Structure 1
Amino acid sequence: MNANPLRLAAFFAVVCLAAVSPASAHHMMDVDLPTTFTQGLLSGLGHPVIGLDHLAFLIAVGVAVGVGGLSLALPIVFVAASALGVWLHVLEFNLPGVELIVAASVVLIGVLVALGRELPLAAWAALFGLAGIAHGYAYGESIVGAEPAPLWAYLIGLVIIQSALSVGVALITRRSGKSVSAIAPRLAGAVVVGVGLTALLGQLIPGA
């Protein structure tokens, strides 16, 4: 067997073991609200990376787009929707059960990638858009109440890091020549499912 799929699976497993806390606990500023442009930017750049469920979703987006030969505009749908989600939180729009939605979205995209599902472009766009709003709303918890400068910097950081991760993974996956039925992306999808289930259990059973 080619070692590449095993390396990929091992990489995701290490990442999973490195961070298993739910999205609501992630914060780059040790729970302190960013007060400067630099703090806002660093928080925006770091939030999707230290939040394992968010990171897993972004990687799964890239894998799905890469192996499916889909438009690179699709990850931007998620990124734009997440920015909208942040604003909805800042504007105090009520979105109940957002952490459950985030966890469920990670499980769903992981299952789709693990099973090698090929969906219509509109279906992927809808999934990325709706999930993006939920992930963004969860991101917004760490910036609500901030002044305009750190708030805008936070959004800039989110857009940069999420675009880089999702599009970057899509390009790498596409260049690997793997198809949706190949073992490497399906193993990656399985690991993403595990991340999502861990987050889901953390929400349903606090302390689990």
Structure 2
Amino acid sequence: MTPTRSLLAGALSLAALPALAHTGHNDTFNLLSGMAHPVGGLDHLLAMVAVGLWAAAHQGKVRLAAPATFVLAMLGGCLLGAAGINLPAVEPGIALSVLVLGLMVAAGSRVPASIGLPLIAAFALVHGHAHGAEAPAGSLAGYMAGFVLATAALHAGGLVAGHTLLARASLWVRATGAAIAASGAWLLASSL
């Protein structure tokens, strides 16, 4: 199988997976459930990796600023959700984040930090809100620590993968971004 067909097959197989991150049926909220949450749904997984991939296309401080911005804004959103402060259209916002972050990856360094970082922060806020709205108040600290660790690991994975792919062929990073964006469009259409 050619590399292009392999990438397409992988993207299509990801698109077939359900977004399971927000089932609302988990009654255990601790460090481990927090760590599992970002990798339990396609929407979170793709958004976290996309942030790392986008950061890899930039030089200097942006490489760390993008993941740090996401984590900090996500924590803020978590606290809002846990406090019962509602944000409008959280689930469509999460799906939109996958679409837009995928497009940002596809565009690479052509999306400047002055545009990318505020978008990352806004999307992280809705991702964090979804985390916080699901957690009972008494279990929030361990749960938050868990999803922060998992999120940082996914960002790091995207950053390493992006750096590795960019060193070989930036086309692979752009193609991955396009596949993420296509998944985001599918998630957005199914969330409306």
TM-score normalised by the shorter chain: which range applies?
Answer: 0.7 to 0.9
Query: How many matched pairs?
Result: 190
CA distance in structure 1 between the aligned counterparts of 2:18 and 2:58, rounded to whole angstroms: 29
CA distance in structure 2 between the aligned counterparts of 1:177 and 1:99, rounded to whole angstroms: 31
Partner residue of 2:166?
177
- TM, length-normalised to structure 2: 0.87
From 46, 49, 59, give the equivalent of 2:36: 46
Contact 2:132 2:140 in 1 (8 A): no
Could you tell me which runs of 5 or more consecutive residues in structure 2 were left unpaired when the two chains were aligned: none
From 117, 122, 130, give the equivalent of 2:114: 122
Larger relative helix fraction: 2
Change (3 A) 1:56 1:93: same
Could you tell me which runs of 5 or more consecutive residues in structure 1 were left unpaired when the two chains were aligned: none
Partner residue of 1:134?
126
Does 1:199 pair with 2:187? yes
What is the identity, as a one-letter code, of the residue corresponding to 2:49? Answer: I
Contact 1:104 1:196 in 2 (8 A): yes
After TM superposition, the runs of 4+ consecutive aligned structure 1 residues lying more than 6 A away are: none
Q: Which aligned pairs between 1:55-204 and structure 2 lie closer than 5 A?
A: 55-69=45-59, 70-116=62-108, 118-143=110-135, 145-147=136-138, 150-178=139-167, 182-204=170-192
Q: 1:145-189 deviations in whole A, cap 9, x for unaligned?
A: 341xx211110011101011102320232134348x822111111
Change (3 A) 1:178 1:7: farther
What is the identity, as a one-letter code, of the residue corresponding to 1:15? Answer: L
CA distance in structure 1 between the aligned counterparts of 2:133 and 2:70, rounded to whole angstroms: 18
CA distance in structure 2 between the aligned counterparts of 1:160 and 1:152, rounded to whole angstroms: 12
Give RMSD over aligned pairs.
Answer: 2.4
Contact 1:102 1:131 in 2 (8 A): yes
- TM, length-normalised to structure 1: 0.80
Partner residue of 2:14?
15
CA distance in structure 1 between the aligned counterparts of 2:55 and 2:20, rounded to whole angstroms: 25
CA distance in structure 2 between the aligned counterparts of 1:74 and 1:118, rounded to whole angstroms: 15
Q: 1:37-86 deviations in whole A, cap 9, x for unaligned?
A: xx511111111101111111111111111123342231111011111111
Contact 1:68 1:118 in 2 (8 A): no
CA distance in structure 2 between the aligned counterparts of 1:77 and 1:196, rounded to whole angstroms: 21
What is the identity, as a one-letter code, of the residue corresponding to 2:27? Answer: L
Percent identity, please. 31
